Structure 1
Amino acid sequence: MWGAAVLTYLAAVFHRGTLGVAGPLAIDRFQVGPAALSSFTVLQVGIYAAMQIPTGLLVDRFGSRRVLTAAVLLLGCGQLLFAFATSYPLGLLARAVLGIGAALTWVSILRLVATRFSARQYALVATISAAMGALGGVAATFPLAGVLAALGWTGTFLLVGAITAAYATITAGVLRDSPGSAAGAGDARTILRKVRSSWAIPGTRLAFWTHFGTMFVPNVMSLLWGYPYLVEGVGVPPAQASLVLSILIAGQIAGGPPVGALIGRFPGARVPIVFGYLLCNGLTWLVLLSSARPPLLVVSLSFLMFAFGGPVSNVAFALVRDYNPIDQVGTATGIANVGGHSATALGVLLVGVLLDAVGEYRIALLALVMLLLLAVFRVTVWWRRTRAAVLAAQDRGVVTPVLIRRRRWDLPEHVPA
């Protein structure tokens, strides 16, 4: 069942990333510029982000089986529509359908993992799931470029759309929800109360900003701007650019299991790992943007470093699992998942707007550095507040997920968390 569910996420990652190498074809097909091209990804990722809390509520209410089946149907139909779209508005509609379908996958898988695996296994299985899903990103690079060259736009997207829609028969037949995992219907007031309850937990907010800061850079580069930056900004030949872009995915696959094992076995190391990644990310941008045409080795190593944001982002879901009751894990996971995807949509849009305005990738990519600085600030704030909540609970004799000691830089005891 876990394997069948992960394949739906692989499909979602693949469909989400198809514009990475199809972007130049889309410019010619729809007769648009960089900012309008970025709108395809902004719309898709924006819908993905907006759907995360509703998805969490849906999966808490109906279970993973039905939600994942609906997801693959929407992914298939969206890609079929994209295959025949020749106008810009119809192309946007197709990407919107894809965005909804993709939005239903990851939270549903994490809900399935939360009910089928122990709390200690959760972080490891979640990161392995993400690594397996990242194979869809690999398929969306040089393999997709080869199929596009052989079959053309319509033939390629018609084929992948039909295969995806047909997979709904597998999810409907193989997946099973654990007894009691679906909470049943609830009125609007109950649903709103569940969202507020999850959001009120400092650990949930820490998870949101952790996901915000760690995931958006590899997403922005793999979904849209990495390939044009390599080809037009750095001057890498298209064939090599596809291979370099695949490093973003290969790093996620290779880094997923060890990072998952580490954060599962050593809960106290989770937030320090996040801070370590954010620091390395910032230093990498400093090196990469210091030259108009950095050497290919420097670019490749930079992309490899960015790639580890995917595995590290799973710290957010481990935090959600620790600090929320099991019946609202889906909702809280949806809230956390909004973080990285809203940052991705914002990053894609800002890079596109700046690129239209100045025509220089080095300046346009500074938008991602600004978002990174915002993330560092907010993670710091909510880490301290989460620690304050945990320390207060320990003082009351409550058993907490992580046992911590008060430090001199912790919030004063009288400050509410």
Structure 2
Amino acid sequence: MSNLDEQRVKKLMSYRWAVWGVLVLAYVIVFFHRLAVGVVKDELINDFNITGTTFANLGSTYFYAYMLMQIPSGMLADSLGARKTVTIGTLVAGIGSIVFGYAPSIFWAFFGRLLVGLGVSVVFISILKIQSKWFKESEFGTMSGITSFVGNLGGILAQTPLAIMVGILTWRTSFAVIGAVSIVIAVLCYLIARNTPEEMGLPSIAEIEGREVKKSSSQGSGLVKGLIKVISNPRTWPGFFVFAGFFGAFVSLTGTWGRSYIVDVYGISKVSAANYMVAAVLGLAIGSIVIGIFSDRIKKRKLPMIMFGAVYVISWAVLVFVNGGKPPVSILPILLFLLGFTCPAFVLGWACAKEINPPEIAGISTSVVNIGGFFGAAILPPMLGKVFDKFGGVLPPVELYQRAFMYAFISAVVGFVFIFLVKETNCRNIYEDK
């Protein structure tokens, strides 16, 4: 390799972190909005005079929009490119957050939440697309874990820091400020991010690795064929249901009802209760990076998913069944951290999606699996909300939350069962091996 080539490779290996870094900033915003409404539950219910089910539906609006946009997101990432897709999406999310913050009625709150969901829905798939172009195949699991780790920092911001911010600025101003920050990040994405190294005159990762990648059509017909190829591949679907079961349960706890559970069952203050939820979100962040690195090191996908998934189900069992649904408060932080740490068994589902489908449609294949998590997160919290509306004031808090969280436990069990149907890829693309 000539000195010039060495310099170009060195520049690629350096600049890819700037590209990934600015996009992952947008992903922090994604996670913030994903979990934020749980912290302002009482304010929303009081300001808009809504029921628990309506509140849960307001939170789920984000997930419905996110879910419905996943296949379009994959198509946009594969055609329009990650740079423009994330820029436009983050801009829309910023506007939505401002609308939500200043909503004069529940209709506008729903509309703002819908805009946020539509906007942020394109970010993660675009990051996975960027990873497939700027990082080596052997780094994909690790980078997916690191991406989830950094994104989860947004989830941590949506707990105690948001509770403190709301106390100082009010919930409305807080969401307006987050909206303004989102718009700034959108501008940075456009200025810094690039879809491929070749756009900067740099060699491709495929070229460096000495492999050939088929050119894919960026036109509608090629994308539709790619979508059909992915959804007709039976190996695609186990990861979908793992993500649905695990993430639906996790969001029901950390993004909707968890803080209220800590307050109502243990009599802990709202700000302190948010700290308990931080333990779960921090666990998810750390677990995401650990399982990605572990998987890439041992060159296995399925075994780490089974190991983490088993502990995740056990953690839910302890939360729901030990001491009638009220585990000792002394073990609660550890239990919540462990629950979060093992939940990201689903992270490897994204890597598997890429590895059991054609590499040239990585955006579409990961987007189909990604729908699963947001399908679970959209339908499960309102199911719990109906339990609270029906039995709230009738059952004591411990029994009420135990009955509601039983749905989350069942969801986790269903997700775990589907792990056993995941196809082992040994961390390489096996599409041609079918």
Aligned to 1:212: 244
CA distance in structure 1 between the aligned counterparts of 2:109 and 2:414, rounded to whole angstroms: 32
Which residue, 55, 76, 87 being the options, matches 2:94? 76
Task: List gaps (5 residues or longer) in structure 1.
Answer: 392-398, 405-416
Paired residue secondary structure (2:40): helix
- Pairs within 5 Å for 1:72-221: 72-178=90-196, 179=198, 185-187=218-220, 189-221=221-253
Which residue, 242, 255, 258 being the options, matches 2:287? 255
CA distance in structure 2 between the aligned counterparts of 1:379 and 1:302, rounded to whole angstroms: 22
Aligned to 2:406: 366
User: Would you say the 8 A contact 1:214–1:274 is kept in 2?
Assistant: no
**1:238 and 2:270 aligned:** yes
Deviations 1:89-124 (A, max 9, x none): 111111000111111111000110111111101110
CA distance in structure 2 between the aligned counterparts of 1:23 and 1:309, rounded to whole angstroms: 27
CA distance in structure 2 between the aligned counterparts of 1:15 and 1:371, rounded to whole angstroms: 23
CA distance in structure 1 between the aligned counterparts of 2:187 and 2:64, rounded to whole angstroms: 28
Aligned to 1:51: 69
User: Once structures 1 and 2 are overlaid, which stretch shifts more, 24-33 or 208-217?
Assistant: 208-217
Displacement of 1:2 after TM fit? 0.9
- Pairs within 5 Å for 1:219-368: 219-268=251-300, 270-290=301-321, 291-359=324-392, 360-368=400-408
CA distance in structure 2 between the aligned counterparts of 1:375 and 1:311, rounded to whole angstroms: 12
Paired residue secondary structure (1:355): helix
Displacement of 1:229 after TM fit? 1.3
**1:26 and 2:44 aligned:** yes
Displacement of 1:31 after TM fit? 0.6
The residue type equivalent to 1:341 in the other structure is F
Identity over the aligned pairs, expressed in percent?
A: 23
User: Once structures 1 and 2 are overlaid, which stretch shifts more, 332-341 or 245-254?
Assistant: 245-254
The residue type equivalent to 2:255 in the other structure is L
User: Would you say the 8 A contact 1:131–1:311 is kept in 2?
Assistant: no
User: Would you say the 8 A contact 1:76–1:164 is kept in 2?
Assistant: yes
The residue type equivalent to 2:237 in the other structure is R
Displacement of 1:185 after TM fit? 4.3
The residue type equivalent to 1:119 in the other structure is E
The residue type equivalent to 2:407 in the other structure is A
Displacement of 1:371 after TM fit? 1.7
- Pairs within 5 Å for 1:385-400: 386=423
Displacement of 1:172 after TM fit? 0.6
CA distance in structure 1 between the aligned counterparts of 2:93 and 2:103, rounded to whole angstroms: 15
Distance 1:68 1:184, change over 3 A: farther
CA distance in structure 1 between the aligned counterparts of 2:250 and 2:408, rounded to whole angstroms: 11
The residue type equivalent to 2:401 in the other structure is Y
The residue type equivalent to 2:303 in the other structure is P
Paired residue secondary structure (1:296): coil
User: Would you say the 8 A contact 1:255–1:308 is kept in 2?
Assistant: yes
Deviations 1:323-360 (A, max 9, x none): 12222110011001011111111211111111212221
The residue type equivalent to 1:54 in the other structure is P
Displacement of 1:320 after TM fit? 1.6
User: Once structures 1 and 2 are overlaid, which stretch shifts more, 366-375 or 70-79?
Assistant: 366-375
Q: How many residues align?
A: 390
CA distance in structure 1 between the aligned counterparts of 2:328 and 2:276, rounded to whole angstroms: 12
User: Would you say the 8 A contact 2:291–2:304 is kept in 1?
Assistant: no
TM-score by length of 1: 0.88
Task: List gaps (5 residues or longer) in structure 2.
Answer: 1-18, 205-214, 393-399
CA distance in structure 2 between the aligned counterparts of 1:288 and 1:185, rounded to whole angstroms: 48
User: Would you say the 8 A contact 1:234–1:294 is kept in 2?
Assistant: no
User: Once structures 1 and 2 are overlaid, which stretch shifts more, 62-71 or 210-219?
Assistant: 210-219
TM-score by length of 2: 0.84
Displacement of 1:282 after TM fit? 2.4
CA RMSD between the two structures: 2.3
User: Would you say the 8 A contact 2:32–2:157 is kept in 1?
Assistant: yes
User: Once structures 1 and 2 are overlaid, which stretch shifts more, 83-92 or 286-295?
Assistant: 286-295
Paired residue secondary structure (2:330): helix
Distance 1:344 1:258, change over 3 A: same
CA distance in structure 1 between the aligned counterparts of 2:403 and 2:411, rounded to whole angstroms: 14
Paired residue secondary structure (1:167): helix
Displacement of 1:253 after TM fit? 2.6
CA distance in structure 1 between the aligned counterparts of 2:116 and 2:317, rounded to whole angstroms: 35
Distance 1:248 1:148, change over 3 A: same
The residue type equivalent to 1:8 in the other structure is A
Displacement of 1:238 after TM fit? 1.6
Aligned to 2:397: none
